[in-house]
């Protein structure tokens, strides 16, 4: 009798421990921003895009932004149980270049400097919206061209 009561308590304690461990926060780090020590080596108005590439490396999106400014982004995201992931830290380093590819400005932004930007998707609206199944089938009867079969 004593053995069954002890095993029930052990199972209950193990379940409670697993439940509490599952609800602990986990953090994910994404991106890279060069440290201040590396940025001190860059001189605005003197160094070029090639110097930035050599000292701190090009950003990961440089292929998409060829010829444009450099943006280094680092984010720290907290996942807590079943809640929606929350960005707790974000840092953006923007290096802008002038027409001759020399550094025009170096700026650093964080989450407190940002504004919420609503992202929109470009989607094509369906032309069959609001039409029933039979209306869609019967609407295609007159659109058949016999020349398309050959």
Domain for residue 40, yes or no? yes
Q: Residues 6 or more apart from 134 whose CB is under 8 A from it?
A: none
- First and final C-alpha spacing in the chain: 83
Whether the pLDDT of residue 119 is over 50: the answer is no
Domain for residue 75, yes or no? yes
Query: Average pLDDT for residues 120-126, to the nearest whole number?
Result: 53
Number of structural domains in the chain: 1
* Local structure of residue 24 (DSSP, 8 states): S
* 36-80 residue pLDDT tens: 898 889 888 888 888 998 999 888 765 455 667 888 888 899 988
This prediction has a pTM of 0.60
Q: Residues 6 or more apart from 91 whose CB is under 8 A from it?
A: 33, 73, 74, 75, 108, 109, 110, 111
Domain for residue 124, yes or no? no
Whether the pLDDT of residue 135 is over 80: the answer is no
Domain for residue 32, yes or no? yes
């Amino acid at each position: 009798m004593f053995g069954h009561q002890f095993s029930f308590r052990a199972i209950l304690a193990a379940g409670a421990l697993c439940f509490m461990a599952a609800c602990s926060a986990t953090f994910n780090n994404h991106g890279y921003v060069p440290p201040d020590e590396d940025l001190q080596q860059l001189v605005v108005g003197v160094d070029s895009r090639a110097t930035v590439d050599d000292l701190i490396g090009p950003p990961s999106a440089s292929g998409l932004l060829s010829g444009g400014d450099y943006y280094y982004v680092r984010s720290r995201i907290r996942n807590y149980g079943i809640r929606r992931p929350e960005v707790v830290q974000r840092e953006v380093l923007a290096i802008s270049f002038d027409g001759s590819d020399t550094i025009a400005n170096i700026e650093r932004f964080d989450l407190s400097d940002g504004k919420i930007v609503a992202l929109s998707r470009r989607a094509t609206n369906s032309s069959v919206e609001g039409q029933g199944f039979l209306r869609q089938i019967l609407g295609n009867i007159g659109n058949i061209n016999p020349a398309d079969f050959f």
